[in-house]
Amino acid sequence: MVSAAPGRDKRAIRSAVLSARRTLSPQERSDADAAIREALATVVARVRPGTVCAYLPMAGEPGGARLPELPGVGRVLLPVLRPDLDLDWAAYPAPLLSGRYGLSEPDGPRLGVDAIAEAELIVAPGLAVSTDGVRLGRGGGSYDRALARVAPSALVVVPLYDGELVDRLPAEPHDRPVDAVVTPSGVGLVTHTGRNRSG
């Protein structure tokens, strides 16, 4: 369980989450990733989205390399990191290229930063999420900018390992709350307490 006690800064929480993730054995990680994908498939079956914006997890991130393989979805878009650290989008499946910071990105036409606004379901990375929907990312701001473009009716889901859904996280005024998490234990909904969902 990650401690996000009041007064703990984002850097310390990030460090604690990454340290906890490194303690998972390969078998524990594989089992957890499979359960996360199963929970995400449940969300996809309920929402039945035409377009999903997902991502290809980096090594050690929840869900594993098969996370964006979403059967029954009309179109899956994956992010392409731009030089200004904003996110462009491209269709998946497609051949993958090595992008900035070692990220794998789909080769193919770039659809623009606003393509995320067309998605009914967004699967966003995170290190932790609070029970009121605050998402803690890696600190680059790319997803903060992208989530500001999400349609208010879209569902934003974050894959996490067990213990990464916490009571409280530091929040910024620009943070767009997420709606749910998918963990090895299943789907967890979060509540928004008057926080901005319109971006």
Is 56 known to sit in a ligand binding site? yes
> Which residue in 146, 171, 162 sits closest to 55, CA to CA?
146
The answer on whether 135 is annotated among ligand-binding residues is: yes
Tokens representing 92 are: 């998946």
Ligand-binding annotation for 194, yes or no, is no
* 149 is known to lie in a ligand binding site: no
CB 92 within 8 A of CB 77: yes
Q: Binding residue per annotation — 60? A: no
Cα(172)–Cα(174) distance, integer angstroms:
5
Helices (H), the chain: 10-22, 26-47, 142-147
Question: What tokens were used for 139?
Answer: 């600190």
Ligand-binding site membership of 34 (annotated): no
User: Is 14 annotated to bind ligand?
Assistant: yes
Residue 137 in marked binding region = yes
Q: Do the annotations mark residue 140 as ligand-binding?
A: yes
Tell me whether residue 66 is annotated as binding: no
Query: Is 21 known as a binding-site position?
Result: no
Phi, psi of 105 (to 5 degrees): -130, 145
d(CA 166, CA 147): 21
Residues with Cβ within 8 Å of 46's Cβ and at least 6 positions away in sequence, in order, are none
Q: CA 169 to CA 167: how far, in whole Å? A: 7
* Residue 186 annotated in ligand binding: no
Q: 142 labelled as ligand-binding?
A: yes
Instruction: Specify binding-site residues for ATP.
Output: 10-14, 135-143
Instruction: Specify binding-site residues.
Output: 10-14, 56, 61, 135-143
Instruction: Specify binding-site residues for substrate.
Output: 56, 61
